[in-house]
Structure 1
Amino acid sequence: MKQTNYHLFDFMDFDPTMQREEALWKAYAPTSIVERDGDIVVTIPYQQQRHQEDMAPDMEAAQQSYDLIIRAYEPNIIRLFTTMTDDQMTESDEMLLMAPEVKRKPLRYVDGDVIATDGTKVANINLSEPRIDPWSDLLPAPQPAPLITFYPDGDTSKPVALSDDHFSPPRYDALPLGFCSVCCNDTATKNERATISFKCDADEHFVGTGERFRKMDLSGQTFQLKNQDGQGVNNRRCYKNIPFYLSSRMYGVFFHTSDYCKLSLADHSSRSVQFLCDHATLDVFLIGGQTPEEILKGYRMLTGFPAMPPLWSFGIWMSRMTYFSADEVEDICNRLRQEHYPCDVIHLDTGWFRTDWLCEWRFNPERFPDPKGFISRLKENGFKVSLWQLPYIAQGAEQLEEAKKNHYISQPTKEEETSTGGASNFSALDYAGTIDFTYPKATDWYKYSLLKPLLDMGVKCIKTDFGENIHMDHQYHSSSPERLNNIYALLYQKAAYEVTREVAGDGIIWARAGWAGCQRYPLHWGGDSESSWAGMAGSLKGGLHLGLSGFAFWSHDVPGFHSTPDFMNSPLDEQVYVRWTQFGVFTSHMRYHGTCKREPWHYPTIAPIVKRWWKLRYRLIPYIIEQSELACRSGLPIVQALLIHHPNDRQVWHIDDEYYFGNEFLVCPVMNAENRRDIYLPEGQWVHFLTGERLEGGRWYNNVEVPLDEMPVFVRPDARIKMYPHDVDSTDDMDLEKAITIEITKEYKGI
């Protein structure tokens, strides 16, 4: 929409024509503060505002009061809950999976301060009148506001305060608390759209919010937290929105909701972080800590820790869009073995069905005449099989009538419904409905009728593609589509993960969409990136922010998914192939996939370089396993933004083309055709892992030349890196007891 001078329209999403019968209610100063069962309950009156552009109280409307509940948990978590729709606070749902360490801390209220039983100051509620030095009545006096400041980890030097942010009393830029009401008929209204805002500093930085394809510092941006098919990695659309951000002032905020939301990080006002939820309930967790890792661990303690993927998943995955027959797949796998390209997984994308893209969870009987034998032969050759599918039932699918009859899929609200709400970008198929994971019988049908027969054959992983969009004009068993859309990915991936772990023995999926809690079900990849330098850079940005949103494991399509300018048919850039391979070696999982040939022998000029990097990947697997196990019990991702280790270094809050791989490697991928890049090394000594060169940190190295077969990768002196001492064809050939430790001593000269 066009920008105006009015917060009402620009942030609160009011109708600019003022034709809709809606009203804004602004929070006033508390009228009551009481202790109740260890919580502090603050009664907040809300005053309706006049239906006009400038804000002014409508004194003819009676105030409405709603309680703001302040609850504290160990360790370093404050919860704020208020509802204008009679919702109930819960401590367990699909998103919330609190760790045993998360325990209630009873609170008491003493002379304006909220104090925990251990003596920690949790909050201050300022009831004093603002200081006034009268000299003009040109403008009205400011409206009252709740002046509440929170200290998530008890550190009073970094307050998180509600923001009553305005230029003048009629011109607000943020509300501390507020909600909207709309007229349903002549006599009834309903409450919707609630907002909360916190003060921020002029130099404050923000990261997280999901797989955000943006610069590292998100300050000055507003995001719609609404899952969509991202259609690449270089735009504002987002496959994985996570209602969580991390501040450079060392606090995090988790907005516990699956509703559509809007989050302004010092954008609509540089003085405020503002959150707007389409549903009139606010459930906000403030998470404190002294380091980013501590805060991220606090977030995982609320929403769940990642599960450990199986060993074989850390090997190389080979795929295309798509392989069409068992013969084609076996030829590729045999050549990988004959030429000693190490590989563990072969992925079959959209072409294993009767008709390409017509997902029926059945192998094509002509092109895959013996799927169980086919999978068994691949297993004997050291390959695991991954299969593509999606959560929609297409017109023409053999399961359609069963799904419709039993309400396993969403039901159209009109008989003439012909929606293609779930349709693919690559197909004209009309999807008749979305599998309804709000219905337990539909979930069991998906798990045991659709997936289990495949897993019983020996399939080891299901690619849970799509899930960002559902049929919005359909009915679902126990949710409106608007409230289901964001959390759908979590329900979908949970079902696939659980049945895979149950039947195949390994807990793993390959997922694209995401919401809070999805980190529990690894792993996720970055979607349909362009095979270009821009696609590579956008992928890394997304992966870094996802790692700052609670996810430990993340991958991407090497060397990008689609070509340009011809989406399906333009040939790959061989430099991009090599540089993306190098980048992929130093991410948690590594899959080749896309619209053109991905097998390295099709590019003989660079194939020897690629093979050397593949072999290095397998030598690093003991280190990757070690770091992954650490990530599963901490707040750390595998691909780590530099700020995780150097939060007080102002430089790193702006660096999004370098990262830590685990705790030991500092990786600087080359993302241009000039074979050069600027390198920033944080404070201290650094050793080039490949060459043994020693460099001093705390400075930039500009325009460094990097030959195509190299990539800048650094470790600290005295680092100890677990590695496998032998070349292998797959992880089946590995005995991790034989891993050795490389010590970065003064004599180290590289590998």
Structure 2
Amino acid sequence: MNKFKKLIQLFCLLFVALFYTSSHAQTANWTEIYPGVWKAIVGKPESYDLLKAAGAQPNKDALSKTEKVSFPFANGGVSLEVSGGKTYLRFPLQKEEQLYGFGLNFQTVHQRGKILELHVDHYGGKDNGRTHAPTPFYVSSNGYGVFINSARYIKVWAGTGVRKDSENFPTPKDRNTDKTWSSRPYSDAVEILVPAEGVEVYVFGGPKPIDAVKRYNLLNGGGYLPPRWGLGFTQRVMTRYTDKDVEKEVNDFKEKGYPLDFVGLEPGWQSKAYPGTFSWDKSRYPDPTSFVKKMKDQGIRLNLWINPYISPDAPFYKEIKPYTGSHTVWLGLVPDFTMAEARKPFFNQLLKDQIERGVSGYKIDEVDGYDYYLWPDAAKFPSGLSAEQMRQTYGLLVQRYSAELYKQRNERTFGLVRASNGGGTSFPYVIYNDYYNHQDFITALINSGFAGVLWTPEVRASKSGEEWLRRFQSNVFSPMAMINAWASGTKPWSYPEVEADVKKFALLRMQMMPYWYSAFARYHFEGMPPFRGMGLEEGFRQDAKVEKLNKVNLEENPYAEAASKEIKDQYMAGDDLLVAPMFAGEKSRKVVLPKGKWYDFYTGEYAGDGEVLDVTPGLDKIPVYVRDGGIVPMMPALLNSPKSNQKVDLEIRYYGNKPGEFKLYDDDGETFNYEKGDFSWRTIRVEKDKSGKVKGSISAAVKGKVNTVGKVTFTAMTK
């Protein structure tokens, strides 16, 4: 009997111990790892996470120079708890606080009140967390950010659940008599569920929202600095084009006077695709080496479409097969890229068959979703990683290891990818998809600045010349100016009624290259997104009323509520430009200007100061405004981007009346020599004297550094 009692007591002690270790709250122990960047470890984080998958290396030098700020949750309210094999996180929210981020969303900028599951997927038309880059990072209008470093499907309640023990518990109201009753009462927290027994959590200080975003980007290594040619114009040709078809198209661009820097070859360049052989189709490209060289001699780079699923006819099929997942995609093997044994044959094939021939980059397709063509969550991988972890990071892995091929050759690349995640900021890829809503493309461009990724509102085809021009105009003010004609065969001149204006904007893209290149340099060195939402702009009116309340039908949905629509169709581009795209069918639109004087980009005329404009720009332009004192360095409208170390003349356009300053970045435009210090920032200053005459200057070239600046002239746009 005594033995039985001792066994019972021992069992009880074990039960209590197990209960204690499986369910307990943790007092957050925040360590400031860089100025304004804090880290906490909850429970036992998994050995594989987003930052490890990406191989992200913080820009320590830039982070160390950032402003020291106080921890944003100094008064408490943060709760971290591990229970039942899952990690629960809770961060406080103030009443008027707005949230941004939680990945590459397409229809909403304000994320407060959302319930999301952050899950890599092809965007399916609804902002529910399933998207190409479900970055688990959010930014508060109060000037801080939070990042959850987990490669799991993460659930988020962004101010939706009301705890019974909340210090800010709302007063219950009678729906029958009180018109202010809400089906979504105020919640004072962001709650996050991570399906793992621990996680790393990072908090980024401000003092402004843009400062938190910059710190996050720098923790990821800073944004990528593309080669100059990557910021030129690109045309993706039809799937089954031959080398002769490509040569003809390149000649057509030149003869018609349209700029072109790189051409994208779609699946037909391979002998087989879906799944792929990653080998040239010799019937279409009989001599790839000569073809690539011929294009490069004309200033044209080549970018190749791939998806990483391997055909039985691939030359390395047998070698890689043991290091692939249990399930296929389109009957192709899925390499486990966390294993060197899988990376070696795959990326060696890209290196030997294409990159050493002079191919300049890749478009990496179908690493995002949908569920019915990617591997299921039941799949197994030889490394032991779960299918879920592989799904969340596969886009990171293919970006990382393909980018390394170019880095090892001291060549910069710039390409396209369908999936990314936290940790991927420093990769040379722009996200795209098959969704084709122009308005939502612009909202995605805005949200890309909160997610640490780049996004292109690509142009494919249109129902009218008007739509074609409107899409093209906004595409010029984006990370990659691209027509994707893989199915349509469209060209810039495909709609004759707007061809002259399309050409004007294509050439404008080239003229603005010094401006774009400097903006991307700031992305790399300082973490400043080159394209970003108005919520990150100082002086912007978050409460500007530009639309009426949404109409709701309570018969159809008794819990629907009217709400003002956020501003999601205008954005900042570089330091000084506000871009407000037009959409097909629109004759006019409203533009919300931040505080301070703003001027028309095209004419230099005064536009307004912190007000809501009602503008009718005409079909030949979209509204673009420059802040007072803004400087836009322009170069001649070349048909190809400047070659390495090529000098170009600059026209410095100056707007408004305030003294202006611009940091012009310069390097060779193609290599990573800037990492060894071979770069310079040259200060451009412009002001008006008492008589209104413009006085401009540019600091001297740095001795021993690259200097691509030729003759410099100054133009006062505001008369």
TM-score by length of 1: 0.73
Is residue 2:69 matched to residue 1:153?
yes
- Distance, in Å, in 1 between the alignment partners of 2:393 and 2:541 is 36
Cα displacement string for residues 477-518 of structure 1 (whole angstroms, at most 9, x for unaligned residues) = 242222222122212110001102334722433222011111
Cα displacement string for residues 251-308 of structure 1 (whole angstroms, at most 9, x for unaligned residues) = 1001111111112211234221011101121321111111223212221232221231
- Aligned residue in 2 for 1:378: 295
CA contact (8 A) 1:223 1:264 kept: yes
1:223 counterpart SS class: strand
Q: 1:79 to 1:314 in 2, by over 3 A?
A: same
1:605 positional shift: 1.6
Give the partner amino acid of 1:632: H
Question: Which of residues 569, 577, 582 is equivalent to 2:468?
Answer: 577
- Aligned residue in 2 for 1:327: 244
CA contact (8 A) 1:664 1:719 kept: yes
Residue identity over aligned pairs, in percent, reads 23
Question: Which of residues 436, 459, 463 is equivalent to 1:558?
Answer: 459
Alignment map for 1:110-121 (pairs within 5 Å): none
Is residue 2:78 matched to residue 1:178?
no
1:318 counterpart SS class: strand
1:388 positional shift: 0.5
- Distance, in Å, in 2 between the alignment partners of 1:179 and 1:481 is 23
- Distance, in Å, in 2 between the alignment partners of 1:633 and 1:735 is 23
Is residue 2:408 matched to residue 1:491?
no
- Aligned residue in 2 for 1:592: 483
- Aligned residue in 1 for 2:498: 606
CA contact (8 A) 1:439 1:478 kept: no
1:101 positional shift: 4.6
- Aligned residue in 1 for 2:260: 343
- Aligned residue in 2 for 1:261: 154
Cα displacement string for residues 238-259 of structure 1 (whole angstroms, at most 9, x for unaligned residues) = 0111110001111100111111
CA contact (8 A) 1:213 1:236 kept: no
Cα displacement string for residues 89-144 of structure 1 (whole angstroms, at most 9, x for unaligned residues) = 9997745523335999xxxxxxxxxxxxxxx9xxxxxxxxxxxxxxxxxxxxxxxx
1:358 positional shift: 4.1
1:438 positional shift: 0.9
CA contact (8 A) 1:388 1:463 kept: yes
- Distance, in Å, in 2 between the alignment partners of 1:734 and 1:580 is 33
- Distance, in Å, in 2 between the alignment partners of 1:93 and 1:313 is 25
CA contact (8 A) 1:227 1:468 kept: yes
CA contact (8 A) 1:243 1:255 kept: yes
1:444 counterpart SS class: helix
1:408 positional shift: 3.5
Question: Which of residues 435, 438, 443 is equivalent to 2:335?
Answer: 435
Is residue 2:391 matched to residue 1:476?
no
Give the partner amino acid of 2:364: T
Question: Which of residues 270, 282, 285 is equivalent to 1:353?
Answer: 270
The answer to which of 64-73 and 77-86 deviates more is: 64-73
Question: Which of residues 229, 247, 252 is equivalent to 2:140?
Answer: 247
- Distance, in Å, in 2 between the alignment partners of 1:90 and 1:687 is 42
Q: 1:92 to 1:328 in 2, by over 3 A?
A: closer
Give the partner amino acid of 1:480: S
CA contact (8 A) 2:45 2:199 kept: no
Cα displacement string for residues 573-609 of structure 1 (whole angstroms, at most 9, x for unaligned residues) = 3222111111111112211104312212322222111
- Distance, in Å, in 1 between the alignment partners of 2:54 and 2:206 is 25
Alignment map for 1:149-298 (pairs within 5 Å): 153-154=69-70, 159=74, 161-162=76-77, 176-181=79-84, 192-231=85-124, 237-269=130-162, 270-298=187-215
2:475 counterpart SS class: helix
- Distance, in Å, in 2 between the alignment partners of 1:471 and 1:726 is 46
- Distance, in Å, in 2 between the alignment partners of 1:710 and 1:243 is 37
Q: 1:482 to 1:203 in 2, by over 3 A?
A: same
Larger helix proportion of the pair: 2
- Aligned residue in 1 for 2:42: 82
1:73 positional shift: 2.4
Give the partner amino acid of 1:153: V
1:396 positional shift: 4.9
The answer to which of 62-71 and 269-278 deviates more is: 62-71
CA contact (8 A) 2:51 2:422 kept: no
CA contact (8 A) 1:251 1:288 kept: yes
Give the partner amino acid of 2:467: V
- Aligned residue in 1 for 2:652: 741
The answer to which of 444-453 and 616-625 deviates more is: 444-453
1:235 positional shift: 7.3
CA contact (8 A) 2:229 2:642 kept: yes
- Aligned residue in 2 for 1:403: 320
CA contact (8 A) 1:305 1:519 kept: yes
- Higher relative contact order at CA 8 Å, sep ≥6: structure 1 or structure 2? 2
Equivalent pairs, count: 594
- Aligned residue in 1 for 2:345: 445
CA contact (8 A) 2:448 2:532 kept: no
Q: 1:558 to 1:648 in 2, by over 3 A?
A: closer
TM-score by length of 2: 0.76
Is residue 2:563 matched to residue 1:663?
no
- Distance, in Å, in 2 between the alignment partners of 1:409 and 1:585 is 40
Give the partner amino acid of 1:408: Y
Q: 1:234 to 1:329 in 2, by over 3 A?
A: farther
Q: 1:380 to 1:102 in 2, by over 3 A?
A: closer
Cα displacement string for residues 302-332 of structure 1 (whole angstroms, at most 9, x for unaligned residues) = 2221231101000000014524211111111
2:598 counterpart SS class: strand
- Aligned residue in 1 for 2:673: none
- Distance, in Å, in 1 between the alignment partners of 2:718 and 2:217 is 37
1:87 positional shift: 6.6
1:541 counterpart SS class: helix
CA contact (8 A) 2:254 2:639 kept: no
Q: 1:102 to 1:79 in 2, by over 3 A?
A: farther
- Aligned residue in 1 for 2:607: 695
Gaps of 5+ in 2: 1-15, 163-186, 545-564, 658-691, 693-715
Question: Which of residues 625, 631, 636 is equivalent to 2:517?
Answer: 625
- Distance, in Å, in 2 between the alignment partners of 1:587 and 1:728 is 19
Cα displacement string for residues 558-580 of structure 1 (whole angstroms, at most 9, x for unaligned residues) = 247xxxxxxxxxx6432221111
CA contact (8 A) 1:160 1:198 kept: no
Question: Which of residues 439, 459, 463 is equivalent to 1:537?
Answer: 439
RMSD: 3.1
1:356 positional shift: 4.9
Give the partner amino acid of 1:204: E
CA contact (8 A) 1:233 1:527 kept: no
- Aligned residue in 1 for 2:662: none
Q: 1:273 to 1:602 in 2, by over 3 A?
A: same
CA contact (8 A) 1:525 1:556 kept: no
1:575 counterpart SS class: helix
- Distance, in Å, in 2 between the alignment partners of 1:318 and 1:221 is 38
- Aligned residue in 2 for 1:457: 357
Question: Which of residues 308, 311, 315 is equivalent to 2:225?
Answer: 308
CA contact (8 A) 1:388 1:462 kept: yes
- Distance, in Å, in 2 between the alignment partners of 1:574 and 1:491 is 40
CA contact (8 A) 1:526 1:539 kept: no
Question: Which of residues 547, 551, 556 is equivalent to 2:449?
Answer: 547
